Amino acid sequence: MPMPPAPTRIALTRQVSSAIEQCELTHVQRAPIDIGRARKQHHDYEQVLRRLGCRVETLSEEPELPDSVFVEDTAIVLEEVAVITRPGAPSRRPETASIAGALARYRKLLRIEAPGTLDGGDVLLIERTLYVGTSRRSNREAIEQLTALLAPLGYHVRPVAVRGCLHLKTAVTQVAEGRLLINPSWVDRAEFAGMRYVEVDEAEPFGANAVLLGDQVIYPTSHPRTAERLRRLGIAVHTVEMSETEKAEGGVTCCSLLFSAAGA
Query: Site mask, ligand CIR, residues 124-153, x = CB under 6 A?
Result: ------------------------------
Q: Please identify, among the stretches 64-72, 77-85, 140-148, 230-238, the one whose residues bind ligand CIR according to the rule CB under 6 A.
A: 64-72
Q: Are 210 and 172 in contact (CB under 8 A)?
A: no
| Peptide bond before residue 63 is cis, with ω within 30 degrees of 0 | no
In terms of Cα–Cα distance, which of 131, 142, 135, 119 is closest to 254?
119
C-alpha to C-alpha distance for 26 and 14, rounded to whole angstroms = 22
Asked if 238 is an active-site residue, the reply is no
Q: Which of 76, 78, 248, 257 binds ligand CIR (CB under 6 A)?
A: 248
The answer to the question of residue 220 lying near ligand CIR (CB under 6 A) is no
Q: Which of 251, 252, 258, 259 binds ligand CIR (CB under 6 A)?
A: 251
The answer to the question of residue 89 lying near ligand CIR (CB under 6 A) is yes
With respect to ligand CIR, which residue has the nearer C-beta, 46 or 67?
Answer: 67
The answer to the question of residue 95 lying near ligand CIR (CB under 6 A) is no
Q: Of all helices (H) and strands (E), which one includes residue 11?
A: strand 9-14
In the set 42, 167, 223, 255, the catalytic residue is 167
Name which of residues 147 to 206 contact ligand CIR (CB under 6 A).
Answer: 166-167, 170
> Which residue(s) pair with 211 in the sheet?
218
With respect to ligand CIR, which residue has the nearer C-beta, 30 or 196?
Answer: 30
C-alpha to C-alpha distance for 159 and 150, rounded to whole angstroms = 14
The answer to the question of residue 56 lying near ligand CIR (CB under 6 A) is no
Q: Which of 10, 12, 17, 24 binds ligand CIR (CB under 6 A)?
A: 24
Q: How many CB atoms lie within 10 A of CB 221?
A: 12
DSSP state of 19: T
Asked if 167 is an active-site residue, the reply is yes
C-alpha to C-alpha distance for 30 and 95, rounded to whole angstroms = 22
With respect to ligand CIR, which residue has the nearer C-beta, 62 or 67?
Answer: 67
The answer to the question of residue 210 lying near ligand CIR (CB under 6 A) is no
Q: How many CB atoms lie within 10 A of CB 50?
A: 11
Q: Please identify, among the stretches 46-54, 200-208, 226-234, 246-254, the one whose residues bind ligand CIR according to the rule CB under 6 A.
A: 246-254
Q: Of all helices (H) and strands (E), which one includes residue 10?
A: strand 9-14
The answer to the question of residue 72 lying near ligand CIR (CB under 6 A) is yes
With respect to ligand CIR, which residue has the nearer C-beta, 155 or 206?
Answer: 206
List the beta strands (DSSP E) in 127-260: 129-134, 156-161, 172-176, 179-182, 196-199, 211-213, 216-220, 236-240, 257-260
Q: Are 211 and 217 in contact (CB under 8 A)?
A: yes
User: Catalytic residue positions?
Assistant: 167, 254
